[in-house]
Amino acid sequence: MSHPLISAPGTPELLIILAIVILVFGAAKLPDLARGTGQALRIFKAETRGLRDDEEKAKDALPSSEEPAEGEIVEDHRRDTSAG
Protein backbone atom coordinates (compact mmCIF):
# COMPACT_ATOMS: atom_id res chain seq x y z
CA MET A 1 0.00 0.00 0.00
CA SER A 2 1.45 3.38 -0.96
CA HIS A 3 1.30 6.44 1.26
CA PRO A 4 -0.12 9.60 -0.30
CA LEU A 5 2.19 12.60 -0.42
CA ILE A 6 -0.62 14.98 0.52
CA SER A 7 -2.97 14.14 3.36
CA ALA A 8 -6.05 15.85 4.76
CA PRO A 9 -5.29 18.93 6.85
CA GLY A 10 -5.02 18.28 10.57
CA THR A 11 -5.67 20.52 13.56
CA PRO A 12 -2.46 22.60 13.30
CA GLU A 13 -3.06 23.31 9.61
CA LEU A 14 -6.69 24.30 10.24
CA LEU A 15 -5.61 26.69 13.01
CA ILE A 16 -3.08 28.33 10.69
CA ILE A 17 -5.75 28.72 7.99
CA LEU A 18 -8.16 30.22 10.55
CA ALA A 19 -5.49 32.68 11.71
CA ILE A 20 -4.84 33.77 8.12
CA VAL A 21 -8.57 34.24 7.49
CA ILE A 22 -8.88 36.38 10.63
CA LEU A 23 -5.92 38.50 9.52
CA VAL A 24 -7.30 38.98 6.01
CA PHE A 25 -10.96 39.64 6.81
CA GLY A 26 -10.76 40.90 10.39
CA ALA A 27 -12.59 39.46 13.36
CA ALA A 28 -15.56 41.84 12.96
CA LYS A 29 -16.30 40.62 9.42
CA LEU A 30 -16.25 36.88 10.21
CA PRO A 31 -19.86 36.65 11.53
CA ASP A 32 -21.16 38.46 8.44
CA LEU A 33 -19.07 36.21 6.20
CA ALA A 34 -20.37 33.07 7.93
CA ARG A 35 -23.97 34.33 7.84
CA GLY A 36 -23.75 35.09 4.10
CA THR A 37 -22.22 31.70 3.40
CA GLY A 38 -24.97 29.96 5.38
CA GLN A 39 -27.72 31.84 3.53
CA ALA A 40 -26.16 31.02 0.16
CA LEU A 41 -25.93 27.35 1.12
CA ARG A 42 -29.59 27.26 2.25
CA ILE A 43 -30.72 28.88 -1.02
CA PHE A 44 -28.62 26.44 -3.05
CA LYS A 45 -30.09 23.43 -1.20
CA ALA A 46 -33.65 24.72 -1.65
CA GLU A 47 -33.14 25.26 -5.38
CA THR A 48 -31.62 21.82 -5.94
CA ARG A 49 -34.45 20.24 -3.93
CA GLY A 50 -36.96 22.14 -6.08
CA LEU A 51 -35.31 20.94 -9.28
CA ARG A 52 -35.40 17.34 -8.07
CA ASP A 53 -39.08 17.68 -7.15
CA ASP A 54 -39.86 19.15 -10.59
CA GLU A 55 -38.08 16.25 -12.31
CA GLU A 56 -40.02 13.71 -10.23
CA LYS A 57 -43.32 15.43 -11.06
CA ALA A 58 -42.43 15.43 -14.76
CA LYS A 59 -41.58 11.71 -14.64
CA ASP A 60 -44.88 10.96 -12.89
CA ALA A 61 -46.85 12.99 -15.46
CA LEU A 62 -45.36 11.15 -18.46
CA PRO A 63 -47.16 8.05 -19.66
CA SER A 64 -45.29 4.78 -19.32
CA SER A 65 -44.89 4.56 -23.10
CA GLU A 66 -44.34 7.52 -25.40
CA GLU A 67 -45.60 5.65 -28.47
CA PRO A 68 -49.33 5.03 -28.82
CA ALA A 69 -50.54 1.49 -28.45
CA GLU A 70 -51.62 -0.41 -31.53
CA GLY A 71 -55.07 0.73 -32.69
CA GLU A 72 -55.04 3.78 -30.39
CA ILE A 73 -56.37 7.03 -31.86
CA VAL A 74 -54.05 9.96 -31.26
CA GLU A 75 -55.21 13.55 -31.63
CA ASP A 76 -52.87 16.47 -32.08
CA HIS A 77 -53.80 19.17 -29.56
CA ARG A 78 -51.05 21.62 -30.49
CA ARG A 79 -52.19 25.07 -31.48
CA ASP A 80 -51.37 26.40 -34.91
CA THR A 81 -49.52 29.65 -34.27
CA SER A 82 -48.46 30.25 -37.89
CA ALA A 83 -51.76 31.85 -38.86
CA GLY A 84 -51.99 35.43 -37.68
Q: Whole-angstrom Cα distance, residue 34 to residue 32?
A: 5
The per-residue pLDDT for 41 is 94
Ranges of each domain in the chain: 20-61
Question: Are 15 and 6 contacting, i.e. CB atoms less than 8 angstroms apart?
Answer: no
Highest mean pLDDT among 2-11, 18-27, 42-51, 61-70: 42-51
Helices (H) and strands (E) in the chain — how many of each?
2, 0
**Strands (DSSP E) found in 1-84:** none
pTM: 0.45
